[in-house]
Structure 1
Amino acid sequence: MSRTDCVFCRIVAGDAPADIVYRWPDAVAFVPLGPVTEGHVLVVPKVHVQDATEDPYTTGLAMSAAAELGRTMWPCNIITSAGELATQTVFHLHLHIVPRREGDGLALPWTTGERR
C-alpha cells in the first residue's frame, strides 16, 4: 500500500487533517473520528505496518508510545485489532487508547460473562 492510499500514512505525513495529540520519534497520537469516550485517541506508527502481527518490532514501539500516553489517561483500555474478522477497518496498525470513567456506557464485547 502506498502512503497516498492509507489515511493514517497521510496523517503521519501531514497530508491529511487530524487533531494531533502527541508525537514520538516512531509514532503519532491523534483523535479519531467519532471517539467512543472523551479523550479517546489513536496511536499509529510512522511507518506503514498493516497490523500488530506484521512487524513485532514496530508494534512494540507503537505499544510503548501507547503505554506512555495511557499512563496519563488511566484507567483506560488499550485496544488493537488484526484483520477484518477481528474488526480492523483501517489496515495500518493503530492502538486505541480509551479512557474509562464510571458510567461511561461503553460495554466491551467480552464483558458478558459468557465463556466459550
Structure 2
Amino acid sequence: MAAACVFCRIVTGQAPADVVREWDDVIAIHPVTPGHILVIPHTHVPDVGQDPGVSARTMACAAELAAELPAANVITSKGTAATQTVAHLHLHIVPRTAGDDLPLPWTPQQHTAG
C-alpha cells in the first residue's frame, strides 16, 4: 500500500467509495460520472505494465462487469502522456449507447466553428 495513494486508501477502507462489487483482491467503484465504473486491484501496482498477473486479474473482474452491459469501453492508461492521473492500476468501464458522441482519442471527431 502506498500511503499517499487514493486508491490504496479506498481498498483498505480508509477513504469512502460507492462500491459496486468486491472480490478478494479487486474492488469496483462508481466514480463521479454516472454509469462509469472503476475497477481497482487491492495490490498497489503503478500501471498495467508493472505486474501482468495483477493486470490480468483486474481485467478478469472488469470483464465480469462489462458482460452485464450491452456495450462498453474498457480502458486503462499507462503513464501521464497516456492520460493516467492516478499511479495505481485501474480500469474504466464506460457504458456506451449508439449516438452518445463520447469522444475517444482514436476516433474521428467532428469539430464545428464556435
Structure of higher CA gyration radius: 2
2:26 partner letter:
A
Tell me the TM-score normalised to structure 2 length: 0.90
Match of 2:84 among 81, 88, 110: 88
Structural RMSD (CA) = 1.3
Shift of 1:31: 0.9
- What is residue 55 of structure 2 aligned with on the other side? 59
- What is residue 14 of structure 1 aligned with on the other side? 13
Shift of 1:101: 1.1
List runs of 5+ in structure 2 lacking aligned partners. 110-114
Is 1:71 the counterpart of 2:57 in the alignment? no
The more displaced of 101-110 and 11-20 is 101-110
Distance between the aligned counterparts of 2:104 and 2:40, measured in 1?
A: 22
Shift of 1:74: 2.8
1:64 partner letter:
A
Secondary structure of the residue aligned to 2:8 is helix
Q: Deviations over 1:27-78 (max 9, x none)?
A: 0000113x1xx31100000110000000000000000000011101231000
Distance between the aligned counterparts of 2:70 and 2:43, measured in 1?
A: 27
Aligned length: 109
Is 1:23 the counterpart of 2:19 in the alignment? no
The more displaced of 99-108 and 48-57 is 99-108
- What is residue 112 of structure 2 aligned with on the other side? none
- What is residue 107 of structure 1 aligned with on the other side? 103
1:65 partner letter:
C
Write out the 4+ residue segments of structure 1 that deviate beyond 3 Å after TM superposition. Answer: none
Secondary structure of the residue aligned to 1:57 is helix
> Could you tell me the percent identity over the aligned residues?
53
Distance between the aligned counterparts of 1:83 and 1:109, measured in 2?
A: 15
Match of 1:49 among 45, 51, 59: 45
